[in-house]
Structure 1
Amino acid sequence: MNNGKGKTHLREFMTWAGEKGWDIMTKSGSQLHLNNGITSRYKGLPDEYLEFLNVVEKCVAPDEQTWFICDAEFNNSTETAFQWNEFEMLSLEAAEGDSIWQSEITAWWDYHLPIVMSVEDGYSFYAIDLTTDSGAIVRGCEPEFEEVEKVSDSFGEFLAWMMLNSD
């Protein structure tokens, strides 16, 4: 994995986001500390994404309907209406009373870490697909959150894709 290329994507994205009016805050110190629940469940997170979490404290679209999940959300240390795993929780609630379906949902989310959430045009998310070597990024939306489509092969490519496909 070309680390330099990933940092270039990150710098370009941060510049772009700032110019487009995103509420983007960088961390004053660059110390990433994800809680054990995240690090034990999600193994092999891409370096590009960890670098993003290490640098970015907050990244919210101008309309506040789309946002990146940063380490404060993963550590449940923010007062937001949505938890980082909100869509998994909604799926599990829909499957209430069906333990086999619930275990299938949990198993699916064990390999799909949500990284961006949106409430624009319904609930949707982007997630890192940890079943792929490169950490492909997939998009899912309601009502079947676990039925996803791939949008990019890596987190760096995802940032480039966002810059091309967003207003």
Structure 2
Amino acid sequence: MTELFRRATACLREAGWTCEPPLSMEDGIPSALHTAPEPVIRWVSSFSQLSNADETVWFLSRHDYSTGSEDAFAWNEFEQLSIQAATTDDELVAVSRFWKRHVPVLLSVRGGYEYLAVRDDGAVVHGTEPEFEEAVVVFSHFEDLLRYIIARPAARNDVVERLLFDGSGTTLSR
């Protein structure tokens, strides 16, 4: 798994992303990650920052999930926006139910708000504003997202290409 993380991070760096080494992990796993699959916990623990060049798209790090984070954009920002937008108790329940099953792993503010999250069954979903909870599956497993980053196959995933590689469609040199 560590090799998969290393290779995915290297490919993102080749595409112009910034990666900083992980911070100390002595504090234990943040409560927001208690339901996350083990590969996700290990991935978010493998860096302290992983973002595109203009910092408009980023993978959340283990530190980002800490409740004491003072960052301008919280790890659960889209959940909070949905809660604020809910107008009925039923809508509040639906928002809460959705986010109990999904852990955001990547946030984007480039051209609108969107995210990638890992569902409790391991699938990676993509959601956008204004209805964040109307997410669609883009990969069956989190590891498939990392393998995609490494391989960048000819049959591209338009959502992932746009988020991670600015939709340029250019092939990275190997």
**What's the TM-score once normalised by structure 1's chain length?**
0.82
CA RMSD between the two structures: 1.9
Distance in 2 separating the partners of 1:67 and 1:32? 22
Mean CA deviation greater in 157-166 or 68-77:
157-166
Asked whether the equivalents of residues 11 and 149 of structure 2 are also in contact (C-alpha less than 8 Å), the reply is no
Q: How does 1:77-92 map to 2 (within 5 A)?
A: 77-92=68-83
Q: Which residue of 2 aligns with 1:142?
A: 129
Give the drift of 1:146. Answer: 0.4
Runs of 4+ in structure 1 off by over 4 angstroms are 28-32
Cα distance, 1:100–1:28 mapped onto 2, change above 3 Å: closer
Partners of 1:31 and 1:51 lie apart in 2 by: 14
Cα deviation digits, residues 28-81 of structure 1 (max 9, x gap)? 656572333x24xx42x2222121122211111112110011121100444322
Q: Would the aligned equivalents of 1:30 and 1:55 in 2 still touch at CA under 8 Å?
A: no
Corresponding residue for residue 156 of structure 2: none
1:55 aligns with 2:46: yes
**1-side partners of 2:102 and 2:135: how far apart?**
10
Instruction: Point out the more displaced range, 83-92 or 12-21.
Output: 12-21
Deviation at 1:110, TM superposition (A): 0.2
Structure 1 equivalent of residue 9 of structure 2: 14
Distance in 2 (alpha carbons) for counterparts of 1:47 and 1:32: 17
What one-letter code is carried by the residue in structure 2 that aligns with 1:57?
A: S
| % identical aligned pairs | 27
Unpaired segments of 5 or more residues in structure 2?
153-160, 166-174
Closer, same or farther in 2 for the Cα pair 1:13/1:104, shift >3 Å? Answer: same
Q: Could you tell me whether the CA contact under 8 Å between 1:152 and 1:161 is conserved in 2? A: no
2:73 match: secondary structure: coil
Q: Does 1:27 align with 2:22?
A: yes
Structure 1 distance, partners of 2:44, 2:115, is 17
